[in-house]
Structure 1
């Protein structure tokens, strides 16, 4: 039986030029390189330059993904940007990317699900392609979390970085089996009761930008359980199990969360794409960044079965199963 699939046909990423090693924090908060590495696995991260915005990063990543696909902006019907750090309250970062790409047709909008944003955006693109609303969509995760850090809070400021990753998703026909290339299943969840364990204490109604606040132990506890369950659910929807997975491409928040989650899934770390050591937590950008880097490293190859999973403030969490 022929079915419509949404296939990834191009991938790319962008990282700001400024690289910040762990040692940079040692004269700002009570911390050390060893302390940061042992608790997070992070060694360095990138920070956007003054005046460098989320939409700037996103546009760079978008151009890289389009070039990888052998396409131009005129070939795309829509742009979806997953971000929690847009340039302005409105208009959306996606419309700014649309303009930077020289694209005056189609439509563009943002998705805000914090660190799970790319999973939500990719699921949205999949639904639009399967329903016939679009043939080809740019899906981007882009963040400048360095703009919302409290530099006196060692529990958060050492964890986050800036960056962007993008994929081009295209309509294709499949046979309706798990051997099809493209998105095979998705699973999305949220629970607003837990909003106080990861949030920003500012916004339009308070007329302040605010800073990121997090209860690390609570986030860890929720993350491991919820990420393993959503990945299992998505695999089950696709008629697959963990043994079929070639690569887990998780949200790159913390190496301890990644290890605990994949262990609970019954998957060894040699089947996990890990980039957190070089990027830190780039929120909605972390999965597309890891997809791009994993492909460039030669880890992810055509036909591989991938599981992506992420959890973010809200709480929001979800996963996508796809064949590359």
Structure 2
């Protein structure tokens, strides 16, 4: 039976580094525009304790999300040792399109996937390029879609990218702005022969929209003096935290159980880098569903240095571990891993994968 396998990965980590201390002079406000009854040093220290974020990366001023996507795509193509002309699909996950530095308008015409195909100079018209909007789980969903194309027999090679420049859509007066960062990650998903034991084993995807649809949303600045027609990324943090802890472990269990693989075989979990304490709680609850302790080192983390780059967190984290760029973390042939994410929509997904 034909399955889908990741044959190459690539990432682009922006060079502009912003440490927490650089927010010391920020004017953080409450949602009603009032001032906090705390010094910025206290706010920043509490922020680090909860999220684990020490610093984050921002895109260079002259680059947009599609540029970052192109850089990551080039590396994935090189890693997989394929000819880009042989690609059947380019699937690019993002949320805000190309937002140029110091502008307020999102640009998605043409699609970012088309822009990447253009930058790759691909002539093949049968290489179909399109974007998906699925919140932070967008890249994982793109991999799921690539697998579907391969299993349907209409694709053999797909390029899946997650790219975002969240630093361009944050309200600098909202302390949550410290969470977000920029980056891009990509992978090549290829059809495997029937004798291969590696590849995607199973997946699960869910959308919760009845009450949860607007847990992440676009809203005005907390500074009443700012243009009220300009919108920024906003979130109901506590609601998202509680939602994720309740629902993400269940979705991960659905994916793992569908694979028929034992929990004891899971070596690594690559989870969306949203919040260190939230991610740790999700992993604890997941293993608790199987009445198992959490294995040491099962959850690689990159949020401390890279922040939350939305759709880019999972693919960049995966690339970093596969390339040996995270200390004491590795994936060996035959290892079973989980890819999992949660985000705007509210969407959740997970993939069980064997290397």
2:47 is paired with a residue whose SS is helix
Q: Assess if the C-alpha contact under 8 Å between 2:336 and 2:353 holds in 1.
A: yes
Indicate yes or no: 2:130 matched with 1:109. Answer: yes
Q: Which residue of 1 aligns with 2:349?
A: 318
1:270 is paired with a residue whose SS is coil
Rounded to whole Å, the distance in 2 between the matches of 1:95 and 1:269 is 42
Indicate yes or no: 2:13 matched with 1:15. Answer: yes
Q: Check 1:199–1:134 CA distance in 2 against 1; reply closer, same or farther (3 A cut).
A: same
Q: Assess if the C-alpha contact under 8 Å between 2:265 and 2:335 holds in 1.
A: no
Rounded to whole Å, the distance in 2 between the matches of 1:260 and 1:23 is 27
Q: Which residue of 2 aligns with 1:211?
A: 232
Structure 1: tracts of 5 or more residues without a match: none
Deviation at 1:301, TM superposition (A): 2.6
Deviation string for 1:125-179 (max 9, x for gaps)? 110011111110000110001111000000x10001000000000001245xxx8
Aligned length: 314
Q: Which residue of 1 aligns with 2:171?
A: 150
Rounded to whole Å, the distance in 2 between the matches of 1:29 and 1:115 is 27
Deviation string for 1:230-260 (max 9, x for gaps)? 1100001101232110100000001011110
Q: Assess if the C-alpha contact under 8 Å between 2:245 and 2:282 holds in 1.
A: yes
1:80 is paired with a residue whose SS is strand
Task: Give TM-score scaled by structure 1 length.
Answer: 0.93
Q: Check 1:224–1:103 CA distance in 2 against 1; reply closer, same or farther (3 A cut).
A: same
Q: Check 1:208–1:180 CA distance in 2 against 1; reply closer, same or farther (3 A cut).
A: farther
Of 120, 125, 129 in structure 1, the residue corresponding to residue 146 of structure 2 is 125
Q: Assess if the C-alpha contact under 8 Å between 1:15 and 1:163 holds in 2.
A: yes
Q: Assess if the C-alpha contact under 8 Å between 1:199 and 1:314 holds in 2.
A: no
Rounded to whole Å, the distance in 2 between the matches of 1:126 and 1:216 is 32
Q: Which residue of 2 aligns with 1:273?
A: 300
Q: Check 1:282–1:321 CA distance in 2 against 1; reply closer, same or farther (3 A cut).
A: same
Deviation string for 1:36-95 (max 9, x for gaps)? 210100111111122310000000000111111112322322110010021213221000
Indicate yes or no: 2:320 matched with 1:293. Answer: yes
Higher helix proportion (structure 1 or 2): 1
Task: Give TM-score scaled by structure 2 length.
Answer: 0.85
Which aligned segments of 4 or more residues in structure 1 are displaced greater than 3 angstroms?
29-33
Q: Which residue of 2 aligns with 1:39?
A: 50
Structure 2: tracts of 5 or more residues without a match: 29-39, 99-106, 221-227, 288-293
Q: Which residue of 2 aligns with 1:94?
A: 113
Larger radius of gyration: 2
Deviation string for 1:254-279 (max 9, x for gaps)? 10111101111123351111111111
Deviation string for 1:2-49 (max 9, x for gaps)? x11110000010011101111111111453342221010011111112
Indicate yes or no: 2:64 matched with 1:53. Answer: yes
1:85 is paired with a residue whose SS is coil
